[in-house]
Amino acid sequence: MLEHPLQRFFHSMRAKRPFDWVRFQRRDLLLIDHPLCQAVFSRQGAQLLHFQPQGERPLLWCAGEWPALSSAPVRGGIPVCWPWFGSHPNGSEWPQQGWARQREWRLLDAYADESKVVVSWQLDLEDWHVRLDARLGQRLELELCSYHEEDDDCLFSFALQPYWRVGALSRVVVHGMELESARGQRGASRIPGTWIPRGAVKQVLYHPGSLVLEDGGWNRRLRIDKNVSAGSVIWHPGSRPVEQVEPGEAERFLCIGAAGYRPGGLILAPGERMRLSLAAGLQ
Ligand SMILES: O=P(O)(O)OC[C@H]1O[C@H](O)[C@H](O)[C@@H](O)[C@@H]1O
């Protein structure tokens, strides 16, 4: 059995290296096959759906069956939530997590050399603009940059919310949470804080450091970095049924990402650039 549904393209790979396109389940997919990693982006949402460093198991989880409606977001990989994260502050009829996941992005650039693959995507929606720069090798690095050309300040938030593939959620421990619980306290660094996911979780934490996802099932440690001003978004549905997650599949992922977010939204001034970065690699 495949450990990721998109590995199929590399098992039968006749593809041109390092880049090739395929049409799959009504989406355009950019396949990346490089000596350091294999990866798949969807043009819809500029979503990195698969990433596998050479010699390792996949880092990302992705649903196997995608929605028939091609504008509906695929669950898995690293969704880009933009220009709002979660529910829209003013109205529930707006799509959860913003427009970016539904839209077709423009590929600006894709090139590779010995040490990396670089892919850049852009989405322009009237006066709003967002760019995603990805650098892939043994680890992955993503940066989002957004600005708008409205006349006034606007409410804004964005996030990169990865579904990390794990051997078994019941054997996961997350390290680094102590930085949050201990913020502002003396002797904070001595608190041996770890967090064991149990049940549903939905939280944004603010802390300057990295988190480490220790996966006892696959016996590996994933270090997750973000820019200092970002929050760490942590999400799992627990036993609640969720679209595109087959029974038992929720045991195979945990979402830990980066969010430029504050309750009520951030303020983005006209022309101001706001950046969000996320990097991850096995230790
Ligand atoms: O189901 P989705 O729109 O992909 O969102 C998945 C989850 O993402 C976020 O972390 C939100 O805080 C949750 O409320 C949401 O359920």
**pLDDT (tens digit per residue) in 134-180:** 999 999 999 999 999 999 999 999 999 999 999 999 999 999 876 55
DSSP letter (8 states) at residue 15: P
Predicted confidence at residue 160, as pLDDT, reads 98
Q: Would you say 101 is a known binding-site residue?
A: yes
Please say whether the dihedral angle defined by the alpha carbons of residues 17, 117, 85 and 234, taken in this order, is positive or negative: positive
Which value does ipTM take for this structure? 0.95
- C-alpha of residue 251 to centroid of ligand 1, in Å: 17
Give residue ranges with CB within 6 A of ligand 1: 86, 96-97, 161, 202, 233, 235
pLDDT tens-digit map of 7-46: 999 876 555 689 999 999 999 999 999 999 999 999 999 9
Check if the beta carbon of residue 142 is closer than 8 Å to that of residue 134. yes
Residue keyed to tokens 């790979």: 13
Nearest residue (CA) to ligand 1, atom 9 = 86
Query: Of how many residues is the chain composed?
Result: 283
- C-alpha of residue 130 to centroid of ligand 1, in Å: 20
Taking residues 88-117, what's their average pLDDT? Answer: 93
Nearest residue (CA) to ligand 1, atom 3 = 96
Taking residues 95-112, what's their average pLDDT? Answer: 97
Predicted confidence at residue 190, as pLDDT, reads 42
Q: Compute CA distances 42 → 18, 24, 75, 107, 115, whole Å.
A: 16, 10, 12, 11, 23
Predicted confidence at residue 191, as pLDDT, reads 43
Closest to 143 (Cα-Cα) out of 131, 128, 161, 129: 131
Q: What is the Cα–Cα distance from 265 to 242, expressed in whole angstroms?
A: 26
Q: What is the pTM of this model?
A: 0.94
Closest to 195 (Cα-Cα) out of 180, 209, 184: 180
Closest to 183 (Cα-Cα) out of 142, 231, 221, 145: 231
CATH of domain 18-180+190-282: 2.70.98.10
3-state secondary structure of 143: strand
